Amino acid sequence: MSTELVKVTMPAPILTVIDKTLVSVLKKNLSKLVADTNKAIESGVKTKERALKANAVVEDGRKAIKVVKEVRLNFTRPLDEVKKRIIAEEEKLLQRLVESNKELDGMVMEREARMEAEEAERKRQAEEAQRAAEEAARKKEETNRKISLAKGGDGDVKPVVAEQITQPISTYQMNKVARTRSIVDLVKIGAAVEGGERKIAGVIIFQVWQFKVTDSKKVPEEYRKISR
């Protein structure tokens, strides 16, 4: 299957942009801010002077965090909007297929439910007929015993064998449509991770190069297999 892939390149090194922004706002870059914060931790807050200095460092840290998030959003907001539009187009493109597929799947499931119900009803009727036949045989034998006793006999009569009702043969499983569904192929994911793949939708790839499926619905088709 041939697929045109969209290549995304970074417009500028984000760390460079972050540091430049921090320097313009706080007059220091992120590395310097981290160093100042660690130094303030080591100095402690036993004196009022140190507490005031620590508080100032904390405020700088809060400002830095806010600045970094704003810089990041400048990069990701446009991407998020594009992502939303792409998802909307995807849903629009697949809407008819999803609806039709759901309707057809419902027809298959309805057929199977009807077959199962019809088979259960045939079995019920056969069992009911067998019970009726056995009750009729019991009553016939009881009547013969009474006749024997009325005629001076000992009531020892030949057993009346109940009619054996033919039980229906189960055809539901034989006629049931084999249903398949797309499931996550852990072997393919494992092979991809071992081959260097580090980003798969719906999968967390750990640094020890193990993986855990977090959302099977999001896993791409190339990492799925057919299952009954």
Alpha helices, DSSP H only, in 151-221?
A: 172-175, 186-194
Dihedral in degrees, nearest 10, Cα atoms 53, 54, 55, 61: 110
pTM for this predicted structure: 0.44
Summarised one tens digit per residue, pLDDT across range 6-20 is 676 766 678 888 888
Rg of the Cα atoms in the chain: 39
Query: What pLDDT shows up at residue 48?
Result: 93
Phi/psi at 166 (5° precision)? -65, 120
* For the chain, domain boundaries: 14-159+166-179, 180-228
Q: How many CB atoms lie within 10 A of CB 30?
A: 17
Scanning 151-177, the segments in alpha helix (DSSP H) are 172-175
**Any idea which residue has 């297999």 for tokens?**
225
The pLDDT of residue 179 is 60
For residues 134 and 162, is the Cβ–Cβ distance under 8 A? yes
List the pLDDT tens digit at each of the 228 positions of the chain.
456 676 767 666 788 888 888 898 888 888 899 999 999 999 999 999 999 999 999 999 999 999 999 988 888 888 889 888 988 998 899 899 989 988 988 888 888 888 888 888 988 998 898 899 889 889 988 898 888 888 888 878 888 888 888 877 766 666 665 566 667 888 888 888 877 787 888 888 776 556 778 888 888 877 877 765
> What does the alpha-carbon distance between residue 151 and residue 90 come to, in Å, rounded to a whole number?
90
Output b/e per residue, 37-58; b: 16+ Cβ within 10 A: beebeeeeeeeeeeeebbeebe
What is the rounded end-to-end Cα distance, in angstroms, of the chain?
A: 24
